[in-house]
């Protein structure tokens, strides 16, 4: 009797059908028919299990051993509807439940599908697909409490194996007990306790940012790839050079451009020079940092307009040795300043370097230029003069030495092709 009850149990028949991949067919007939066609659930009255050797039909109103959180059993119709739509999202499933119940009401039928919550649906589908236990499934009537789990997990295998061996749909109780002791092997869903497939399609979109493929013959033009010479997404900051505002400084905004770009020294107070300047831009290729794009250097005489992060972009400070120049700097003490920034002193050739500059150490590079000649000063009204060849060569040599020191210090501080250092 117990074996017969087990074979006719709705949940075990359902689980056996899932395990053997036999179709479940809603129908209007209580008589099993192997060639029966599926009837819409709103009109069906029975569910046909196409098991071997003969199909079995059970009414859709049959209560099952699967209960909700209040202990009320779900009928076979609700269980079948929940499993048929287990891959639907929660809003989609709830919408289909309301739609089906509306069809029942419009047809004057008292049937109703009871919605299953997400957790209840997950537990139900996981058990139907091979899980060993489910707390919401009551044991079979008449089965000992110690054998509840075996009757649940082993019954489908026993029923399938017994039906294929006996050919009669019944099984000897002793043989059923043997089959109930077998360990059922589950699929990946039962082992991982899940049924929802994971969608990794978003990984393809993320990987497209890091993978580049050169198009070959016959390759589609829509192939996702990065350009070979992709431009940086952010603008590179401009390095800053601070000049001394002292009137005794040989290099001011009026003549620094000619000196650093052309290696030509002109007195800062020459009449032909523009004295109404607040800042200058000098463009130069720094091969060891970015050989393809010129860097634009900003030259100013004061730091009044500086923001805090501007100090990370200062690459050189020109000085005459007067400490009042550093009074408004981030590091007002020269010994602290030149630990962070490269210092530059420019004097006349054959003049002694001030003792104050010497005391600041190797972090202040000293160089010299030739004195301006009176014969050259007479030409300033017409054009900027060109000094003699040997003098021009010595001034250019001094400018190159300054640039070499500045660029070396920039590499040390962490200047890169598309970024400046975050601290110096």
Which conformational region is residue 21 in: left (phi greater than 0), alpha (psi within -120 to 50 degrees), or beta? left
Residue 166 confidence (pLDDT) above 50? no
Comparing C-alpha atoms, which of 26, 100, 106, 85 is closest to residue 59?
Answer: 26
What average pLDDT does the segment 46-58 reach? 84
Residues 28-51: tens digit of each pLDDT: 888 888 788 888 888 888 888 888
Q: Say if strands 63-67 and 73-75 run parallel, antiparallel, or are unpaired.
A: antiparallel
| DSSP assignment string, 87-103 | TS-HHHHHHHHHHHHHH
* Predicted confidence (pLDDT) per residue in 311-338, tens digit: 999 999 999 999 999 999 999 999 899 9
Paired sense of beta strands 240-242 and 290-300, if any: parallel
> Tens digit of pLDDT for each residue in 334-344?
989 999 999 99
What distance in Å separates the CA atoms of residue 169 and residue 171, rounded to the nearest whole number? 7
Reported confidence tier of residue 212, pLDDT bands at 50, 70, 90? low
pTM of the model: 0.44
Q: Mean pLDDT score of the chain, rounded to an integer?
A: 77
Domains and CATH numbers, the chain: 2-192 (no CATH), 240-413 (3.40.50.11990)
What is the pLDDT confidence band of residue 267, given thresholds at 50, 70 and 90?
A: confident
Q: How does pLDDT run across 223-249, given as a tens digit for each residue?
A: 444 444 545 446 788 999 999 998 889
Q: In the predicted model, is pLDDT for residue 119 greater than 50?
A: yes
């Amino acid at each position: 009797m117990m074996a017969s009850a087990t074979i006719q149990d709705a949940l075990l028949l359902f689980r056996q059908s899932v395990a053997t991949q036999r179709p479940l067919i809603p129908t209007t007939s209580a008589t099993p028919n192997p060639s029966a066609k599926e009837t819409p659930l709103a009109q069906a009255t029975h569910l046909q299990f196409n098991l071997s050797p003969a199909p079995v039909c059970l009414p859709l109103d049959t209560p099952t051993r699967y209960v909700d959180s209040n202990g009320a059993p779900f009928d076979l119709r609700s269980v079948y509807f929940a499993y048929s739509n287990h891959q639907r999202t929660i809003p989609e499933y709830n919408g289909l439940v309301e739609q089906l119940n509306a069809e029942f009401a419009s047809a004057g039928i008292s049937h109703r599908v009871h919605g299953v919550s997400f957790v209840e649906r997950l537990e139900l589908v996981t058990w139907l697909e091979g899980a060993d236990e489910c707390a919401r499934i009551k044991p079979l009537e008449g089965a000992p409490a110690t054998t509840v789990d075996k009757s649940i997990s082993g019954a489908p295998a026993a029923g399938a194996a017994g039906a294929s061996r006996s050919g009669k749909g019944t099984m000897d109780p002793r043989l059923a007990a043997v089959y109930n002791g077998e360990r059922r092997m589950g699929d990946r869903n039962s082992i991982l306790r899940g049924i929802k497939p994971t969608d990794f399609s978003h990984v393809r979109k993320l990987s497209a940012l890091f993978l580049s493929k050169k198009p070959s013959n016959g390759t589609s033009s829509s192939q996702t790839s990065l350009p070979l010479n992709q431009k940086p997404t952010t603008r590179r900051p401009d390095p800053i050079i601070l000049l001394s505002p002292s009137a005794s400084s040989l290099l001011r905004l009026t003549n620094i451009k000619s000196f650093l770009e052309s290696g030509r020294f002109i007195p800062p107070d020459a009449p032909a020079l523009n004295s109404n300047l607040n800042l200058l831009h000098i463009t130069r290729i720094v091969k060891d940092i970015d050989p393809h794009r010129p860097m634009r250097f900003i030259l100013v005489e004061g730091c009044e307009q500086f923001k805090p992060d501007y100090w990370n972009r200062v690459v050189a400070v020109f000085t005459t040795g007067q400490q009042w120049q550093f009074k408004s700097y981030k590091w007002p003490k020269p010994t602290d300043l030149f630990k962070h920034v490269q210092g530059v002193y420019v004097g006349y050739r054959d003049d002694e370097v001030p003792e104050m500059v010497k005391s600041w150490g190797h972090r202040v590079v000293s160089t010299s230029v030739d004195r301006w000649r009176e014969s050259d000063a007479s030409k300033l009204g017409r054009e900027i003069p060109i000094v003699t060849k040997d003098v021009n060569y010595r001034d250019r040599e001094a400018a190159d030495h300054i640039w070499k020191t500045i660029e070396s210090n920039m590499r040390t501080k962490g200047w890169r092709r598309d970024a400046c250092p975050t601290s110096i």
